[in-house]
Amino acid sequence: MTDTPTYDVAVIGYGPTGATAANLLGAMGLKVLVVERDSDIYSRARAISTDEEVLRIWQRVGLADRLGADMLAGSPVAFVDADGEAFVEVTPVSHGSGHPPQQFIYQPALEGVLRAGVERFPDVEVLLEHECLRLLQNESGVELMLADLREDVFRRVRASYVIAADGGSSPIRGQLGIGYEGTTYAERWVVIDTTVLEEWPGHDRLRFHCDPARPTVDCPTPLGHHRWEFPVRDDEDEKDLVTDAAIWRVLNNQGITDTQVEILRAVVYSHHVRFADRWRIGRIFLAGDAAHAMPPWIGQGMSAGVRDVANLCWKLGAVLSGSLPDSILDTYQAERMPHVREVTDRAVKVGRLITERRPTLAVMRNRLFRIAMRVPGFPEWLRDHRWIPDAFYPRGLLATRGAVKAAAVGWMIPQPWVLGADGDRERLDDVLGACWTLLHLGPAESWAGWRAAGVPTVRLAPAGTVPAADTVVDLDGTLIRWMRTKGATVLALRPDGVVYAAAGTGTSLAPPPPGMSVRPLTSTPR
């Protein structure tokens, strides 16, 4: 088997999670194989929104602006009663990642851009209409038995690591015998996708119609599309509900006619809350829906998968380059799981708010929220505790001194617009690159362990400062203020923008991770 093709990483599944992984790994110059059983992009739009942190991840591979061109920036989110009157409005606010806080997407178009991005990397090979039948791993790598579904031909390949991003029914998870525990809701939902023919007032706003008789989600999607979702009642026939006549009854009740939209499709699906027991078995990792599933209420299912591979891929690159030990890969699930659980919990609670079927309780809900929304601070509390949580890792590949961790450690830093060495206005991540960096407010100190590991040092200076090779200028002071709030004068940043270590005046910076040596990676294409 000496002629068996060998790759650094094999990615199973070519949806948004797998395609993002292929871009991230390809940008590092790694040799990657992507295996996908379908012949083309799935035509039905499933995910409907994403957020600024995910766009920041796509920014690392030079695709954020292109993807953003096909998105629709989010407006206030309204929860309305049976008469269409709002009792809650939530406006997502920026967490400082340099992109709009919420964006509506049309998934087939998004996947097309991600796949086109993969084509930039000559060392990434994509096998469509192929299925991974079997995985065998040992200390040196993983052997994959692949079936060509077009020609009934089999082939063996090897990879140092495998990412299984093959969906909620993940065959790879099944082969590994990993449990997938949780709940599938008994209530099934109809999803209606349409093409917009004529816009109407409010066509670009997300509204949750919290009507006990027929809870309905009314969601804008870009590129001339719009979506509605509603649950199937016990006395209704699913097959009847996806007929044109039944769909028009629902849309007409929303005030929508055939002069405004054309029906593309209607399908029925279930909501799940599930978590895989383990996300790593040796050299094989689960990501996206293969590792977890959540209800769609805050639009984070796809985004969670993108966050997974953003966490995992830079670590795989570090291990494959020899700059960090394989043991850091154990921090993948430890870091991602708390955030996934928190997002899932928030999605479930929002779903309960929307789908209350008892009329008396629905009336009480509406009144209580209308009163509460007038209480100073409550709208902000509701937004911050029921929508997307900040990017923060309470544990993982992070520096601590005894039981004490600096306030900035574990947080993803804000991304301001800065002036780089050439004087151009750029986003910070584009200037620093996806690499370990010491970012400080000055003056520079020795930080001997970090310098010995080859980590670059960059000064963050206030507006009015002349940029230089080792200095970037924070144009509006966003990151400088954030560092001061955290009591930090220097940050040791991981390649994903998360603070590994921090120190302030009178405190010393923790050393690099044991065994760390920094080696350059292929630069991100622009």
Contacts of 398 (CB under 8 A, 6+ apart): 405, 409, 410, 498, 499, 500, 501
156 token code pair: 């063996």
pLDDT at 403: 55
Phi and psi at 492, nearest 5°, equal -100, 110
pLDDT at 401: 63
Going from the C-alpha of 116 to that of each of 133, 323, 331, the distances in angstroms are 27, 30, 31
> Among 187, 219, 184, which Cα is nearest to 202's?
219
Contact (CB, 8 A) for 471 and 458: yes
Comma-separated ranges of CATH 3.50.50.60 domains in the chain:
6-72+103-181+273-342
315 vs 317: CA distance, rounded Å: 5
195 vs 189: CA distance, rounded Å: 20
161 vs 317: CA distance, rounded Å: 10
pLDDT at 319: 97
**Which 8-state DSSP code applies to residue 512?**
P
420 token code pair: 């780089």
Contacts of 440 (CB under 8 A, 6+ apart): 457, 458, 459, 460, 489, 490, 491
207 vs 255: CA distance, rounded Å: 14
Residue 368: CA count within 13 A, CB half-sphere:
7
Contact (CB, 8 A) for 165 and 305: yes
Contact (CB, 8 A) for 274 and 169: no
CA 358 to chain centre: 35
pLDDT at 474: 97
> Among 479, 415, 444, which Cα is nearest to 99's?
415
Q: pTM for the whole thing? A: 0.94
Q: Of 3.30.1490, 3.30.70, 3.40.30, 1.20.120, which CATH number belongs to 398-526? A: 3.40.30
228 vs 206: CA distance, rounded Å: 10
Q: Under CATH, to which class is 6-72+103-181+273-342 assigned?
A: alpha beta
Contact (CB, 8 A) for 57 and 35: no
Q: Which ranges constitute the DSSP H helices of 127-269? A: 171-176, 238-241, 244-253
Contact (CB, 8 A) for 231 and 186: no
Contacts of 146 (CB under 8 A, 6+ apart): 35, 127, 130, 131, 132, 133, 154, 155, 156, 157
Contact (CB, 8 A) for 132 and 170: no
C-alpha dihedral (188, 48, 11, 429), degrees to nearest 10 = -150
Residue 254: CA count within 13 A, CB half-sphere:
30
Contact (CB, 8 A) for 103 and 55: yes
CA 191 to chain centre: 22
pLDDT at 525: 41
**Which 8-state DSSP code applies to residue 525?**
P
Biggest CA pair distance of the chain = 73
Three-state secondary structure readout of 35-104: EECCCCCCCCCCCCEEEHHHHHHHHHCCCHHHHHCCCEECCCEEEECCCCCEEEEECCCCCCCCCCCEEE
Comma-separated ranges of CATH 3.40.30 domains in the chain:
398-526
CA 392 to chain centre: 13
275 vs 293: CA distance, rounded Å: 7
337 vs 499: CA distance, rounded Å: 18
Contact (CB, 8 A) for 150 and 41: no
10-residue averages of pLDDT along the chain (526 residues): 85 98 98 96 84 96 96 88 93 88 93 98 98 96 96 94 96 96 83 94 90 92 92 86 91 92 91 94 98 89 96 98 96 96 91 92 96 93 80 92 76 95 94 95 91 94 92 96 96 97 92 82 43
